[in-house]
Structure 1
């Protein structure tokens, strides 16, 4: 019996290793666990008998990794989406299995691609990060739990974020692990690892952007409206009153309310409400940004948007990267049937323009992004160099009580590092926070309670290297590295 199970032992250990990676991300930030997780993956792929065997091992690792890191999708589907529990669990399993295909591809390529034996240590880090980038791009992308986030912002590797973003952090992390696992007694390898860390520490001391003006007083409002009543007409006026009363208590020059703080189109809002919101901030001439769905120019066209409510002209930012299945239906001819089981209000949003001008306000050039958008570093940099501050408006009540909100906030920390900008997070239920240009939390509001986070934020100008090229310089470099390894092998 034991002999029959022995071939499955590596797969079990890999799935377990993938699963423990969840503790390396927020809210626990146990970053060494990602090193252990990747060490197991590296060891077992190197010991694989064939590319096919390596692919299956990569898949096992990925399945454990993603089941642990996106378990909260079940809460969204079942608790708030109304999907029956067995179907919701099956949906999470299918999504995790799809995402596990990318580390499976990395395993296959590691054994399939040519390379000199002395340089094979470079293969897995390179193909792993290339496939991870592919996961964040294909079918609009889902880059959640990219491994680089596990080292940001608290390790020296985070110092590389302004240079090459989260994927450069991930590649260097994989390289360090591969050097240690492949050649544990090679002193030069340990020297390279130490050099990478020391250089990262030095880069983290670098000021990539400059201060603009004096610090701005900001007020970030957290309404704590439960998702099960947020879109219920019986609670509509109560929700409006909740945000009005909180806004009246704010003291900042920039006041930010969360995504869909007003849960209806502006045409459905009582006439008195926008005026009372403006009156709440008018005495100190403060700027007020909030989330609201807006109608487009054509029939059945509507957007998830942010507007400057303190400006009667209501300038808009329209969300451009929508959440699959939550905000739009991918391949409707294939997936439309799912919606008979789901309760997803306003699930047919239109996309805004890829590049939109920041809000030009007294408090700064404020670039808004909405919820899921700040998971995509390559898109956040579209606001630079004009934007002097970033603002994220989110509603993560869909995943209430899970680690999704903390994981999302860690990605916001990395966006702050990549852009050299403050990131203000105004959320419905958390994590509402002020994040500085180094990705550090300056102030955080406790989750799942109504309140106002009062603090200061600094406008900044200038562009770190990542803001100029995004992910593309790294992708070109890694692709060139694979070609070079192949050519060197052919010469041998």
Structure 2
């Protein structure tokens, strides 16, 4: 290869490598560990900052706009494709799509979403201030706006946002600024490492090393920041994980029969367990993979009787509706004494019901013009109706328990809508999921990290009941209290502390959504450009 050609390709190769490291920083996917800085399945905040710093350096040294756009697109596409590579599993293994088409679909989705970051990088490169501090601040602002665009436009797909890698380092700040604020701080640190010089660089590097190199930094921050929420009593819980293989889940002779038997027995046993008195039992999303009217009436009779005479309330995920009325992806609940006598209509007359609000494109609704894409797959899909936002919580055991379904916990601003009225705000959050569509891989770890960040933002414990993992109890500080091994049937018992009072994030996100983050980023962008001085174009 000619030296000139190699010199042009080397930055692109480095951008590709940096993008993959950025993806892996959200949840380290490899068995090669360097504890406590690299642990399989856990976020690596230092790696996220380091890989983004490498990308900023490459962008800043771009000789022209064409080179800059190529580097930005390669970095962002590698990052995003690496984060949600598990979509290949859902489309190819379970959806029946040919492997080349499934891989192409993942890359095209990543490339499309990467356009937000390429635009942000170009705007920053064109307007970059001369002063390194201002250039770093402008980059953090532009990058945050790109993160927001990805999380909002086209129904939003914020999976793998940079802030999720920071849950163990900067998580104590999440109750104030949320995941996008954490991502902005990490972007600022990365840009400073890439752009500063001399003594200023040494000072910044020392601060970065102190925060991201010291394993106790996260705990140190938590100990020094005030707690914005207060205890609201305890709740004993049992979380169910049936571990029905995804390729059997909707098979009448294997998965459906197994789900009915396993969850039926587990729910009856749990509802009647004295140690769970005043507590909660949770079964995952589509625990029963049938419409209630397609389940034998005596099944509901046994379950309703056990709950009516039992000690614990029950939440269970299942689809509801009919062809005439439409369908919902729902969570139904019963409290002892309130389960209906008319067992044949037990789910329809549940004591509590939550309908999923934020539906998954292609999985739960088909975007206009994409029916041809859905027809390439054989996985069950549908057009579900959306639930309202917000919906009331289940009141039980002295707690207000707010469920949501799987993908919805990516949208902290939507969960925050339930906190608009402080006296009715949830005290416990519950996520029911089935991400067995994506295999036994890093998607499970990434989703656990998302749940930990939501618990921190809103100052509430998060209970997760899933089909194959991660079934876990998480406290209001984002710490995993207990977790079941993935991929095996199990019942997880824990006691969580409900919380009352609002975090600053819950207050502003409940009222204004993500608008304050966008406004802050735009303000910082304007200040950086106004105070940082002009620079000549080029590297």
TM-score, normalisation: structure 1: 0.93
Helix, strand or coil at the partner of 2:370 = helix
Find the counterpart in structure 1 of residue 140 from structure 2.
125
Tell me how far apart the structure 2 counterparts of residues 191 and 17 of structure 1 sit (CA, whole Å). Answer: 22
Q: How does 1:283-362 map to 2 (within 5 A)?
A: 283-295=309-321, 299=324, 301-310=326-335, 311-312=339-340, 313-314=349-350, 315-331=352-368, 334-362=369-397
Find the counterpart in structure 1 of residue 345 from structure 2.
none
2:128/2:534 contact within 8 Å kept: no
Tell me how far apart the structure 2 counterparts of residues 243 and 33 of structure 1 sit (CA, whole Å). Answer: 41
Find the counterpart in structure 2 of residue 247 from structure 1.
267
Superposed displacement of residue 19, structure 1: 0.5
Find the counterpart in structure 1 of residue 458 from structure 2.
419
Tell me how far apart the structure 2 counterparts of residues 363 and 447 of structure 1 sit (CA, whole Å). Answer: 31
Residue 2 (1) aligns with residue 41 (2): no
1:289/1:306 contact within 8 Å kept: yes
Structure 1, unpaired ranges of 5+ = none
Tell me how far apart the structure 1 counterparts of residues 531 and 45 of structure 2 sit (CA, whole Å). Answer: 35
Distance 1:425 1:223, change over 3 A: same
Residue 428 (1) aligns with residue 467 (2): yes
Choose the corresponding residue for 1:149, options 161, 164, 176. Answer: 164
Tell me how far apart the structure 2 counterparts of residues 300 and 321 of structure 1 sit (CA, whole Å). Answer: 19
Residue 84 (1) aligns with residue 98 (2): yes
Find the counterpart in structure 1 of residue 37 from structure 2.
none
Distance 1:306 1:201, change over 3 A: same
Find the counterpart in structure 1 of residue 227 from structure 2.
207
Tell me how far apart the structure 1 counterparts of residues 58 and 434 of structure 2 sit (CA, whole Å). Answer: 40
Q: Deviations over 1:419-465 (max 9, x none)?
A: 00000000000000000000000000000000100010111111100
1:116/1:485 contact within 8 Å kept: no
Tell me how far apart the structure 1 counterparts of residues 47 and 209 of structure 2 sit (CA, whole Å). Answer: 18
Find the counterpart in structure 1 of residue 175 from structure 2.
162
Residue 472 (1) aligns with residue 487 (2): no
Structure 2, unpaired ranges of 5+ = 28-40, 341-348
Tell me how far apart the structure 2 counterparts of residues 325 and 412 of structure 1 sit (CA, whole Å). Answer: 23
2:240/2:490 contact within 8 Å kept: yes
Tell me how far apart the structure 1 counterparts of residues 487 and 226 of structure 2 sit (CA, whole Å). Answer: 36
TM-score, normalisation: structure 2: 0.85
Choose the corresponding residue for 2:305, options 279, 292, 299. Answer: 279
Find the counterpart in structure 2 of residue 484 from structure 1.
527
Q: How does 1:97-246 map to 2 (within 5 A)?
A: 97-113=111-127, 115-118=129-132, 119-152=134-167, 154-155=168-169, 157-185=170-198, 186=200, 187-190=202-205, 201-202=220-221, 205-213=225-233, 215-235=234-254, 236-246=256-266
Q: Which moved more, 1:319-328 or 1:108-117?
A: 108-117
2:43/2:449 contact within 8 Å kept: no
Q: Which moved more, 1:398-407 or 1:443-452?
A: 398-407
Residue 373 (1) aligns with residue 398 (2): no
Q: Which moved more, 1:283-292 or 1:73-82?
A: 283-292
Superposed displacement of residue 54, structure 1: 1.9
1:55/1:103 contact within 8 Å kept: no
Distance 1:200 1:450, change over 3 A: closer
Find the counterpart in structure 2 of residue 463 from structure 1.
502
